[in-house]
Amino acid sequence: MQPTIAFIGAGNMCRAIFGGMLKNGYPADKITATGRSIEKLDDLAAQGINVTTDNAQAIKNSQVVVLGVKPQMMQAVCEPLAQVCQQQQPLIISVAAGISAQSLEAWLGGNLPVVRCMPNTPSLVQEGASALCANTQVDQKQKDIAQQIIANTGLALWVDSEAQLNVVTALSGSGPAYFFLLMESMIDAAVSQGLSTQVATELALQTARGAAVIAQEEQDSPAQLRRKITSPKGTTEQAILSFQGAGFAQIIKQGMQANIDRSEQLSLELG
């Protein structure tokens, strides 16, 4: 299945998606990328991708439309595209945070198959973790197409509802920032104890990578892995007990709840 695809707003996230597609052998001439200025699309034209500043024109020739503009711009970008979407009836995939499928469908004239996707920043290096959610108009073949497109950026899993996409936002969408914060705090603590910033940073980053690789490769859950490497009365145990005493799990839960609350608020503001 190699449908023609229009990427509306060829910014970071769209480039991550079609960059992965091209790497994996997707024909460049089946992809159209749009933007506000044609100069910003020159590098894509050089790779054989069709480029235009005319969003409607891009959709006219496409079976799939990926909406990649910023959430605040989505309504203004979508409404002028209602006519061409109603004629063409493409599969719509939106990567925009906080914009409901219902709003997208309404702005695009109604009754369209819409898949919402919540990607994350590591998609930019093909190490993404994305979740997808489909409205009732999306059939199995279209689900497969959406999954194949997003899988070019890394992991792509389905969730059952848009409410669950808010939980995904709190987990994997914003998750990279939480891990950066943990790395930052560990580096700061080590530096305050006398390590150089460079040594502390290199050790912290490699530790994060190593822990992620083990957690993915082993059958054990993260909780089991943690217990396995926490010897009674050892150094790791002392740190874990100190974290737990300070309410570590509760702090994470509260932060993720604050994230979910903000997603719900943004959805109300943006549509």
Ligand X SMILES: NC(=O)c1ccc[n+]([C@@H]2O[C@H](COP(=O)([O-])OP(=O)(O)OC[C@H]3O[C@@H](n4cnc5c(N)ncnc54)[C@H](OP(=O)(O)O)[C@@H]3O)[C@@H](O)[C@H]2O)c1
Which of 197, 190, 176 minimizes the C-alpha distance to 239? 190
Choosing from 22, 60, 61, 71, the residue that interacts with ligand X (CB under 6 A) is 71
Q: How near is the Cβ of 35 to ligand X at its closest, in Å?
A: 5
* Smallest gap from residue 192 Cβ to ligand X (A): 31
| Residue 9 vs 90, nearer CB to ligand X | 9
- Give the list of residues 6+ apart from residue 79 with CB closer than 8 angstroms, or none: 107
| Interaction residues for ligand X, span 89-118 (CB under 6 A) | 95-97
Handedness of CA 145, 150, 156, 160 (dihedral sign): negative
Q: Is 78 in the site for ligand X (CB under 6 A)?
A: no
Of 67-75, 146-154, 157-165, 216-224, which part binds ligand X (CB under 6 A)? 67-75
* Whole-number Å distance between alpha carbons of 132 and 118: 7
Contact set for ligand X, span 112-171 (CB under 6 A): 119-121
As to burial, measured by CB atoms within 10 angstroms (0-12 exposed, 13-18 middle, 19+ buried), residue 51 is: buried
Dihedral Cα 252, 253, 258, 261, nearest 10 deg: 150
Beta carbons of 26 and 7 less than 8 angstroms apart? no
CB 127 to ligand X: min, Å: 12
For the bound state, the minimum distance from the C-beta of residue 260 to ligand X, rounded and expressed in Å, comes to 15
Q: Which residues bind ligand X (CB under 6 A)?
A: 8-13, 34-37, 40, 55, 68-71, 73, 77, 95-97, 119-121, 173
